[in-house]
Structure 1
Amino acid sequence: MKAARYYDRGDIRVENIPVPPVLPGTVGIEVAFCGICGTDLHEYLDGPIFCPSATHAHAISGETAPVTLGHEMSGTVYALGEGVTDLKVGDKVVVEPYILHEGVDTSAASTDYHLSKDMGFIGLSGRGGGLAEKITVQRRWVHPIGDNVPLDHAALIEPLSVGYHAFKRSSGKAGDFALITGAGPIGLLTAAVLKAEGITVAISEPSALRRQKATETGVAAHVFDPRTDDVVGRVKELTGGKGADLGFECTSVQPAFDTLIDALKPTGVLVVESIWGKKASLDMQKLVLKEIDLRGTIAYVNSHADTIKLVQDGKIDLKPFITGVIGLDGLITEGFDTLINKNETAVKILVNPRL
């Protein structure tokens, strides 16, 4: 089968590799669509990060480069391993792409399996990936989506789960006012979750095209250009002078972080979703005097079922966020190049491995 293989920084090759066997306790999935994630771009530009190198194996998967990429995937079950009885061939599914040590508690009661030692991701750290025609995944990480969610929409459930987990980390509730900095894929999908949960959303974003996407999708009630708008002043105006209840940082840009600190009300909650490649500065006195609650968030934990239900129930429409569908052969030229050099023109580019 065809697969996109990560060899090293700047070196991704589409190759023919064997179809992975469907072993006991696993599910064989024919991949329909796989999204290109910002993490994939970081691996290409700056990696290996989550990907292993050719000389250093991942601590859990035991694999070295090359590994198959792709962790935002949807597909159809084509085979069931021995012992898997609660799915059937033909089921539409998505993957929660974790690689964890055996013995980690991944039950419904766990709130921290995503923070366990040596955690890795399917499609980055080994065990196949969604940028291939087929993948075999342990049953625990396979989530059925029912028949009313199109498979292209379903490929966005993984990044949508990032936004859902961030919402849960914020302790936000219906009636709150939230400011999001950054209208990239995660900022927009976080906004979609917040709106579905009854929270009023404002987004600050310098890119005109991304502001337009925030407006036309309807996920934000208010959209600001931080280059020309007094974002803090506008937020206070819209909240009767008190400030935002919630802030979500989705840029890894210092001025955006500073804006959130100033725009939040006293006792407000600031959730940092972006991955920072450098140290940030914090005016600690503002944090103290406003009693701001600063929280980090990474990925998701027992989030997929609730996220899928939001889509199944029609509370979130994922179609507007899909801005392109390409084949594996165009992964670098049509996918990575667009998202690296012309990222204002795209939100989520999907790969159909059979095009």
Structure 2
Amino acid sequence: MKAARYYGQRDIRIDDLPEPQVGPGTVGIEVAWCGICGTDLHEYLEGPIFCPTHDTPHPISGETSPITLGHEFSGVVYAVGEGVADIAVGQHVVVEPYIIRDEVDTGPHSTDYHLSRDMNFIGLAGRGGGLGEKIAVQRRWVHPIADSVPLDQAALIEPLSVGYHAVQRSGAKAGDVAVVGGAGPIGLLTSAVLKALGVTVVISEVSDLRRRKATESGVADHALDPRTADVAAEVRRLTGGRGADVAFECTSVQVVLDTLMDALRPTGVLVVVSIWGKRAEFDMHKLVMKEIDLRGTIAYVNSHPATIELVESGKIDLEPFITGRIGLDGLVDEGFDTLINHNDSAVKILVSPSGKGL
């Protein structure tokens, strides 16, 4: 089978690999669609970060580079291993792509397995990836989805779960006002969760395309261009001078972080969703004087079932956020290059590893 493998910085190759072994307790999935994530772009430009090096194996997977990329994916079950009785061949599924130590409690009541020692991700630290034609995944991390959800849209459930967990971390509730810094995929999908919960959403974004996506998709009530609007002042105007209840930083850009601090009301909550590759400056005096609650968030924890329900019930429509569909051979030139150098022209680009979806 074909798979896109990460060898190192700016070095991704399409290799021919043996199909995975579907062993006891695992599920064999033929990948339908896989999204290109911002994390993949960081690995390509600056890595290895989450990916292991050539000579340092990941402590759980035991794998070194090269590894197959891709952690936002959907597919169809083609085989089930011994002991798997609750998933059938032909079923549509998505994957919660964790690599976690066997001794960690990942049960339905756990709230912290995503913070466990050496946690990493399928498609970044080994165990195959969604940018291969097939993959075998432990049953725990496989989530069935209704056939009524198109498989291309289903590939966005993983990043939507990131937004779901971020909203959970914020404590946002119906009637609140949220300001979201950045309308990339995570900013838009976080906004989608907020709207599904009845929150008024204000997005700040420089890209004309992404602002249009925010309003046309219905996930933002207001989409502001920070180059021409004073975002904090406009948020205060929209809230009668009070400020936003919650804010989500989805860019890893300093000026966005500063703007969100200004836009929040006293005792508001600021959630940092983006992965920062550098230290940020922070106005601690403002945090103290406004009693801002600053919270980090990473990935998701037992978030997929509730996220899938939002999609299956029709409360969230993922179709508007798909702006490109490509084959594996176009991964770098049509996918990575577009998202790195022309990201104002795209939101989520999906890859069909087998080409069947094209």
TM-score of the superposition, structure 2-length normalised? 0.98
The alignment of Structure 1 onto Structure 2 pairs a total of residues equal to 355
The Cα of 1:248 is off from its aligned counterpart by: 0.3
Q: Distance in 2 between matches of 1:5 and 1:287?
A: 43
CA distance in 2, matches of 1:55, 1:188: 38
| Runs of at least 5 residues in structure 1 that lack an aligned partner in the other structure | none
- Match of 2:260? 260
Matches within 5 A, 1:66-81: 66-81=66-81
CA distance in 1, matches of 2:55, 2:276: 26
* Partner-residue secondary structure (3-state), 2:124: coil
Give the aligned partner of residue 226 of structure 2. Answer: 226
The correspondence of residues 19-168 of structure 1 with structure 2, limited to 5 A, is 19-168=19-168
Deviations 1:128-151 (A, max 9, x none): 000011000000000001111110
- 3-state SS of 1:223 partner: strand
SS of the residue corresponding to residue 235 of structure 1 reads helix
State the alpha-carbon separation in 1 of the partners of residues 146 and 136 from structure 2: 20
Q: How does 1:229-240 map to 2 (within 5 A)?
A: 229-240=229-240
What is the identity, as a one-letter code, of the residue corresponding to 1:140? R
C-alpha distance in 2, partners of 1:236/1:304?
A: 34
Which residue of the partner structure matches residue 291 of structure 1?
A: 291
SS at match of 1:159: helix
Amino acid at match of 1:149: V
TM-aligned CA deviation for residue 260 of structure 1: 0.8
Displacement of 1:298 in angstroms is: 0.5
- Give the whole-Å Cα distance in 1 for the aligned partners of 2:103 and 2:152: 34
Distance in 1 (CA, whole Å) between partners of 2:167 and 2:215 is: 20
SS of structure 1 residue aligned to 2:167: helix
Amino acid at match of 2:44: Y
Q: Which amino acid aligns with 1:285?
A: H
Mapped to 2, the partners of 1:49 and 1:131 lie a distance apart of 18
Letter in 2 for 1:159: P
Pairing of 1:6-21 with structure 2 (within 5 A): 6-21=6-21
Correspondences of 1:273-352 after superposition (within 5 Å): 273-352=273-352
Q: Distance in 2 between matches of 1:39 and 1:199?
A: 28
1:72 is displaced (CA, Å) by 0.3
- What secondary structure is seen at the aligned counterpart in 1 of 2:161? helix
Identity of aligned residues (%): 73
- Partner SS state of residue 276, structure 1: coil
Unaligned runs of 5+ in 2: none
- Residues 206-221 of structure 1 correspond to what in structure 2 (within 5 A)? 206-221=206-221
* Aligned counterpart, 2:171: 171
TM-score (norm 1): 0.99
Q: Distance in 1 between matches of 2:54 and 2:261?
A: 42
| Cα shift at 1:15 | 1.0
**2:179 maps to 1:194:** no
Q: Which amino acid aligns with 1:194?
A: L
Counterpart-to-counterpart distance in 1, 2:175 and 2:190: 16
- CA deviations 1:65-85 (Å, max 9, x no partner) are 111110000000110000000
Matched residue of 1:109: which SS? Answer: coil
Separation (CA, whole Å) in 2 of partners of 1:305 and 1:62 = 29
Give the Cα separation in 2 of the matches to 1:220 and 1:340: 25
Structure 1 position 180 matched with structure 2 position 180: yes
- How far has the Cα of 1:214 moved from its partner? 1.1
Q: Which amino acid aligns with 1:165?
A: H
Q: Quick one: distance in 2 between partners of 1:133 and 1:327? A: 11
TM-fit CA distance, 1:116: 0.5
Amino acid at match of 2:217: T
Give the secondary structure class of the aligned counterpart of 1:13.
strand
1-structure distance, mates of 2:337, 2:260: 31
Note the aligned Cα RMSD (angstroms).
0.7
Name the SS for the 1:307 alignment partner: helix
CA distance in 1, matches of 2:266, 2:340: 38
Q: Secondary structure at the match of 1:78?
A: strand
SS of 1:169's partner is: helix
Pairwise CA distance, 1:262: 0.9
Letter in 1 for 2:21: P
Q: Which amino acid aligns with 2:8?
A: D
| 1:193 Cα deviation after fit | 0.6
Using the TM superposition, give the Cα deviation of residue 282 of structure 1 relative to its aligned residue in structure 2, in angstroms.
1.4
Moved over 2 A (4+): none
Secondary structure, aligned partner of 2:260? helix
